[in-house]
Amino acid sequence: MIYHLIASLISILILVFNYWIIQNTERKINSYTKIPPFQKIDYTSSYKKNPASSLKNLLDGDLATSWTKEGEGMEWDFDLELRLTHFYKQNRYIKRNLKEIHIYPCGDSPMKNFQYEVFLREGINVDKELRMPDDRTIYAGELGETNDVSVIQLNDFLPTRDLESYDGKQIFILGIKGKFPGGTGCLAEISVIEELGSLRQN
């Protein structure tokens, strides 16, 4: 009798454990769909002072979450990788039709003197090449005091053709570096638009 009870308990535990694995895997896949597992560096370590302030909030598609500068950074406050310029399909690397980067301020708080550089980072395998990838700045600017969504056009700066094989010197990671010089600042979202559109509804 007791052996049957133990066997039943073990079977139930196995089922519960398998269910947990499936649920956890699906949750991670959905998270990666919304927030690509790219590099996110907060040079200000703001998340240590304010746990609600995280760079991943800038990629989650939710304008209610935000990143707030809580300390001084280095040359830049953050370095954020956004999107690969190509995706793999049917044995080819197809270029993405990336149109714009949208930068959203926090709610009604104006974005003040935000400096940024949009860059292309080599998509090399650092384990094989034994070097850090090179960055190429494709656009730099500064935004004055504004409550509006700021739009950066990408049409003239990105790769223009598909590739037959992977080439880390022609496939790039699109990213942005940002800084609020000499003070605090807050951003709600930085999104890459493949078709014209906006997260903020009129």
Q: Which domain holds residue 116?
A: 36-193
67-68 β-sheet, strand order: 67-68, 186-193, 100-105, 150-153
Residue 111: per-residue pLDDT: 84
Residue 55 lies in a domain: yes
Least confident of 26-30, 148-152, 174-178: 26-30
Tokens of 187: 């951003």
Res 2 pLDDT > 90: no
Counting Cβ atoms within 10 Å, is residue 193 exposed (0-12), middle (13-18) or buried (19+)? middle
β-pairing, 172-179 vs 40-42, is unpaired
Q: What is the pLDDT averaged over residues 147-156?
A: 89
β-pairing, 86-89 vs 67-68, is unpaired
Residue 201 lies in a domain: no
Q: Residue 78 sits in a domain of what CATH number?
A: 2.60.120.260
Q: Report how far residue 191's alpha carbon sits from residue 176's, in angstroms, rounded to the nearest whole number.
A: 11
Residue 165 lies in a domain: yes
In DSSP notation, 108-140 reads: TSPB-SEEEEEEEEE---HHHH-SPPPEEEEEE
Tell whether pTM > 0.85: no
Q: Based on the structure, what is the number of domains in the chain?
A: 2
135-151 pLDDT, tens digit each: 999 999 998 888 889 99
- Shared domain for 5 and 67, answered yes or no, is no
- The percent of residues above 70 in pLDDT, for the chain, comes to 77
Residue 169: per-residue pLDDT: 81
